[in-house]
A and B are shown apart, each in its own frame.
Chain A
Amino acid sequence: MAGTGALRLGPAARRLISPDRWTDGYPGPVAYSRELDVLLDWASKRNYLKRFVPNIEAKNTKRDEALNELRLAYLFDHTAFLLCNWTRPVQTTRSASTCSARQRKPMCLSN
């Protein structure tokens, strides 16, 4: 259920995320509101939402990190570089907890 912050959002964002934990007025200007819609719509079509939504709905800093990850993935996708995997191959010499922590951000590309 979206809170009052949802008034700032575009239609795709209102449908897909809740901004209740944001405290800084993001997305603000129309261009950023539309960008969020474009990114979420793209992620939805690629089935990436499950990965991104929890972090985008998180507090400002974590949200911004997730947005940057999404922006880069979008840029690579639109410049003919295929995103083939969001996580690094697990190295068996590491403990499970270490692997888990390190699998959140990295992505793998191919072209």
Chain B
Amino acid sequence: MFVELKSRGWESELSKEEIAVGRQHQPKYRNQIEGGAVGNWDPVQRCIESDKTYPKFTDNQPNLLIIADDLKVPLHFSLIHVQAALFGPAPPYPENGYFNSSRFENIGGLGIFGSSSSGAGLEYEFIIYPNPHALPATRLPQSLLDKFHETCTYSVKGTDPRRPAPVL
């Protein structure tokens, strides 16, 4: 199985006006309160259709695209937007879901990866959305889908700050 990892950053969400004034050189979250609309289906679709992404997937092997993002509102906190990007109808969404047709049939599925810190250490979260219109050759192994068809949470051992550091 072939895996391609994409790391979209919050800088990709900036408008031309924000880039012109150098917002990308400032911290992701500034001290002041920032707000605004969130439509995370857009970065998901832009990532899938990118010339740097889709052409890498051939039609002769299982292919998995994974997005590990650094967006202002992370994808693993807005999975309903990911689902809209893949399976949502247009309208109300700007574009029909990218897994609603064979347009991206070389992609067997999309994985969303994220990590977060709680008081008990770091956790990884990972989920895979299979593409029902993938070619037979590009579909993902059932064993992988069985494991990650719902959000899988993995606690990283040794990262709990309440416990002694592991001896490495």
Contact = CB atoms under 8 A, between A and B. Distances in A.
B86 to A, nearest CB: 20
B143 interface: yes
A109 B3 contact: yes
Q: Which of B27, B58, B168 has the most CB of A within 10 A?
A: B168
Contacts of A30: 161
Interface string A10-29: 11100000000000100001
Contacts of B113: 68, 71-72, 75
Chain A, interface SS category: helix
Interface stretch (B31-39, B99-107, B131-139, B152-160): B152-160
Given A30-B161, A32-B117, A72-B113, A110 B122 contact: no
Contacts of B97: none
Contact of A38 (B68, B154, B157): B157
Interface in B121-168: 121-122, 124, 126, 141, 143-144, 147, 152, 154, 156-161, 165-166, 168
B3 A106 contact: yes
Interface residues of B, number: 36
A5 B144 CA distance: 39
A27 to B, nearest CB: 11
B3 A31 contact: no
A106 to B, nearest CB: 5
B56 interface: yes
A88 B168 contact: no
Interface stretch (B4-12, B40-48, B77-85): B4-12
B124 A111 contact: no
Contacts of A74: 156
Interface residues of A, number: 36
A65 B3 contact: no
A61 interface: yes
Interface in A10-63: 10-12, 24, 29-32, 34-35, 37-38, 41, 61
B7 A64 contact: yes
B95 interface: no
B159 A38 contact: yes
B66 interface: yes
B5 A105 contact: yes
Interface of B: 1-5, 7, 9, 27, 56, 58, 64, 66, 68, 70, 113, 115, 117, 121-122, 124, 126, 141, 143-144, 147, 152, 154, 156-161, 165-166, 168
9 contacts: A30-B161, A31-B160, A38-B157, A38-B159, A65-B5, A75-B124, A79-B152, A106-B2, A110-B1
